[in-house]
Structures are given as structure tokens and as C-alpha cells.
Copies of this chain bind each other. A is one copy, B any other.
């Protein structure tokens, strides 16, 4: 008789956003007259930029003609897109990343979940706490995280690196030595980030102890301050120890279009085996490339027109972030993030628990946010609001929160 992968059974409850969805549906059903404003999930709301829309239409027309039709894409992505990425996202910032070190994919969620596969089954992982749930959950499924303590919500074999107001939401180097270190800056959920000097400390540490940093830079487009690194490859030595994940979701509004990429530098070698070749093999065996039309859409993001349009999209969201940040601050709340990130991270008032505050806010202000506890034990007592709503809704949500 066949058996299942029992690691799945260790996963506590359902994915964070499913739980929130259910709670909101239940409230909505019970209160059909209330207009709920959602500042919870990190989904964008502005339409695709004009340059992207045009590129999509053009590519669809190519697919309608046998002479310009495109079948299977090259395993690692089309050269035109990888070249645009290498030039604009890296070489223009002085980072030595070549087109053939870029692996185009359908999403940073997939990449961040799949990347663990190329490492040993008993690899020790370190994560920031709070953290995007996928990093830990994908390692739970692979059996790397030990046992789960329901009380403390902690996995026995995961190294947690608390990020709280006390350390400015920048983790300290861990005491135990990890094999894989997941870092996300600008951070989801805290909205905070690191300076280049702070990130250099991590790169040096990884090189010293022989760890790999999986650097999630999905929110790179929101960086507004000078000394914040856009890529980990701005740090010296990063090509030897860091894999970087990027996404088109948050800069160009591709959450429903699906496009991302991962950089695996050819310098990363373990016992004579290049990680680049392992990830290439995984792509070649388990993936068939992002759609041609979507890769053309990605290319358009790097056109002059596209760049201006995504800049203005990001600016609109950041106007929301500033409104939330300043509005809540003026109302006496303790708030963080929102400067280099579309996320505002607030301390729940009066020692309220995260989920308690979620219910309170939903009931009293009809505003949906994300309980910090859903991102890990150190998220307890915090709450995430996102800047992805419309300006009008954001303003109204802040006013409602101020009133209660």
C-alpha cells in the first residue's frame, strides 16, 4: 500500500492568507451592509502599464501566425529577457551578473519554495522571524525542520533570527551555524530593510562559515533611500555565497501575469559541483519556461516607456504607504517600514495579540490587515498593512483606524 509524504501532516493549519480569507468571508456574510477595506494580502490593484499591454498584444499576434509562432521556450528563459535583466537590474548598478546566470520563472513564490531542493536533505535553515511563510513551509515539506511546538509555534530544527523594534528589524548573526540563510530585504512583512554595510556583514559571515544566502529582493523597486542595496551583488564576495530572487509582481503589477527570475552565479561551487548546473538541471527537468508572451511583457518593463510607467505605479503605492505611516503615527501608533517598502508594520495597541487586533480591526473598522503572528513567533504583537489599495480606500481605512 502506498504511503504519503508525512512531512505535510506536520504543517500547522492552512496557509496564512487562506485563514484570513475565511475569516473575512464569514464576517462579510454576517454583515452584508459593511464595506470592508482590504489592506491585507500583498496583491497589487493598478492595471498593467501601457508598455506591457502593448507588448502583450504584439506577442499574442506573433503567436497567431505560423511564421512568428513560438513553441517551447528555452529552458532558462529567452535571451532577449535575460539580457535586459542583466543590463538593467545588475550591470547598470555595477553588479557583475551575466545573462546566463539568470533563470526566468513563473514566480518568486515558486523559486523560493523550490530552491531548497538542490541542497542536502539535512541542511539547517535560518530564517528571519517574522518571515514570509513559504521559506519555512517548503522546508517542512522536505522534512528539514524537525518537530513543531504548537505552544511556541517554533520548529525544533529551524534557526530563528528575531527581527523586532529592539534591533531595528535587522537580525543578528545566528549563534548556531546554518547551511541556508533566507534573507528578504526590503523585508516582508516588516517593511524595514538593511544598509549596504549591514548586508555586507551577512555576506562576509556566509563566506566565512560556508553558508548560502537566499536573498529575496522582490520589493527592490520600493527602495527610496541611498544607502540601501538593490541587489546583494552590490556586496563584495556575494557571487560566492548568494542566490538572489526577483519578481515582476510588485514593481510592474505582474501578480496575475506571473514572471520572476533567480540569479545563481557561476562562482557558487560546492565540492566541485556548481549550484548553477544543479538549478539548470532542475529547471530543465521540472519546468518548461514562462510563456513567450509574458517574457515579452517582461522585456517591455525595461523599455524607456515601461520604466517611466512602473516608476509612477510604485510612486502611487508609496504615496499610500506614507499616508498610512504618517496617519497612524499622528494617531499615536508605533509604526515601522513604509519608506523603502509597500508594507507598514505596526505595533498592536495595548498589548493586544495579533489575531485579537485582526478581529478587532475587522469588526470595528471593517479593515483587513495581516496579523504579525502569522509570519512567525516574533511577529506576535505586530500587524501588517499594505500600500497596494487605492488612495481613496487607503485614506478611508486610516481614518477608520484613527477613529476606533
Contact = CB atoms under 8 A, between A and B. Distances in A.
Interface of A: 1-6, 8-9, 11, 14-15, 18, 41, 43-48, 50, 53, 56-57, 60-61, 63-66, 69-73, 106-107, 109-110, 113-114, 117-121, 123, 133-134, 137-138, 141, 143, 179-180, 209-212, 253, 255-258, 270-271, 273, 275, 278, 281-282, 284-294, 390
A327 to B, nearest CB: 23
Given A109-B287, A293-B293, 16 more contacts: A1-B179, A1-B270, A3-B120, A4-B118, A5-B117, A5-B120, A5-B278, A47-B64, A48-B63, A66-B390, A107-B287, A110-B287, A113-B287, A137-B285, A141-B286, A257-B291
Given A8-B281, A11-B281, A56 B293 contact: yes
A259 to B, nearest CB: 9
Nearest to A143: B121
A15 B285 contact: yes
A41 B133 CA distance: 39
Closest 8 CB pairs of A and B: A1-B210, A2-B179, A113-B286, A43-B71, A3-B120, A70-B256, A71-B255, A53-B64
B278 A72 contact: no
A56 to B, nearest CB: 5
Contacts of A258: 106, 288-291
16 contacts: A2-B119, A2-B211, A3-B179, A3-B270, A5-B117, A8-B282, A15-B281, A53-B63, A69-B253, A71-B253, A72-B255, A106-B288, A110-B288, A133-B285, A138-B285, A141-B286
Contact of A64 (B48, B63, B72): B48
Nearest to A9: B273
